[in-house]
Amino acid sequence: MLEKIQLLSSALPIVFFVIFCKRKAPKELWVIFIYFITSLGFDLFLAISAWASDHRFLVWNMYGILENILLSYFFYLIINQRLIRALILLFSLLYLFFILPYLKTGTDQFNSTMSAVGSVIILVLSICYFLNYLKPTSEAVSIFTPQFLIVIALLLNVSCTLFLDLITNRLTINELAKYWSINSYANILMNLIISSAFILFYNQHKPKPTESNFVDFTSPNDR
């Protein structure tokens, strides 16, 4: 039941993006949209394909790589500091360098360490993004932007699943089934927050009704 709700909730941001943001969305929102398409694609692949359900962990590992690359690119787009952008590129390359050889072996075992490393990278990038807000600026900028909400969603998701990722390797199939609900709840929460971020984007970019500058100079008697 929970799995189905999670699957449905992961379709929610896609639907909301198409309805509310498609036309004016900046690059970073498109990246999140692609991330959700990928996520839903993998979920459906796991649900439909017999090979995928046999090699579940291998598929998860592959999804983990794509997830981290897309989210790193999202942070690359929303963080303006050059140093952090360079570090994002560097860490992404290092991440790929270490995880790709592991994938080549075709081992059908969940790679807890690399998944946890990916989570920590997202955690650190989220904190970097928040630190940007703590800097004194000359302009009063509202904190509640769609990007900010997306980062909150990602941070909450990573916080909820970090320890689960760390110990997944040690769990038996029964234990995994028991604790996997944490992941499902975290995903549902993230999907809901990101959906609301898309609504927020729509509200912030809604065309405002233009004030009429027309002044009728004719006499009331002539109208």
Does residue 98 interact with another protein by CB under 8 A? no
- Residue corresponding to tokens 């360490």: 113
Q: Does 192 bind another protein (CB under 8 A)?
A: no
Q: Which is nearer to another protein, 69 or 176 (CB)?
A: 176
The minimum distance between CB 152 and another protein, in angstroms, equals 6
Closest distance of CB 158 from another protein, Å: 8
Contacts of 123-129 with CB under 8 Å at 24 or more apart are: 123/155, 123/158, 123/159, 123/162, 125/71, 125/72, 125/75, 125/79, 125/84, 125/88, 126/75, 126/151, 126/154, 126/155, 126/158, 128/75, 128/79, 128/81, 128/84, 129/75, 129/78, 129/79
CB of 175 to another protein, least distance (A): 7
**Residue among 100 and 182 whose Cβ is closer to another protein:** 182
**What are the Cα distances from residue 68, in Å, to 5, 31, 88, 214?**
24, 12, 11, 54
Q: Is 17 exposed, middle or buried (0-12, 13-18, 19+ CB in 10 A)?
A: buried
Among 48, 80, 82, 137, binds another protein (CB under 8 A): 137
Contact region with another protein (CB under 8 A), list: 59-67, 68-76, 170-178, 211-219: 170-178
Question: Between residues 96 and 189, which has the closer beta carbon with respect to another protein?
Answer: 189
Footprint on residues 33-72 left by another protein (CB under 8 A): none
Does residue 182 belong to the site contacting another protein (CB under 8 A)?
yes
139 is a site residue for another protein (CB under 8 A): yes
Using the contact rule CB under 8 A, the part of the chain among 19-27, 46-54, 67-75, 154-162 near another protein is 154-162
